[in-house]
Amino acid sequence: WILVVDGAAKPQGWLSVGAGAAAGDQVTPDLLHRGGTVASTSGTYRSALDAALSSPTGRGVIVDDSGAFAGTVRAAQVVALIEARGSAGAVR
């Protein structure tokens, strides 16, 4: 899977490597998997965990407050943070 972002670095969806797009081909919306939620860097661990669990790739998409891509997170990483900090606080 490859996360496709627009010119403003805002996530548009996941592209399966075997989706039929060759190097240099234009990626069209019909090739993108748009499932999964997106979590914010200022959001909660719960929203980050939901993003990871609902993603077709197992990696939750994290965006900054402008909606631009900030990174990805796996469910196990979020659970480890919750256990280490003992709360469901902010993602940071």
Predicted local distance difference test score (pLDDT) of residue 89: 53
Most confident of 18-27, 29-38, 55-64, 82-91: 55-64
pLDDT reading at 77 higher than 70: yes
The residues, ordered by sequence, that sit 6+ positions from 83 with a Cβ below 8 Å of its Cβ are: none
Predicted local distance difference test score (pLDDT) of residue 26: 79
Predicted local distance difference test score (pLDDT) of residue 47: 95
Model pLDDT for residues 4-44, shown as the tens digit of each residue? 999 999 999 999 887 555 556 778 888 888 878 899 999 99
Q: What is the distance between the terminal CA atoms of the chain, rounded to a whole angstrom?
A: 25
Antiparallel, parallel or unpaired: β 59-63 and 69-74: antiparallel
Q: pTM value? A: 0.80
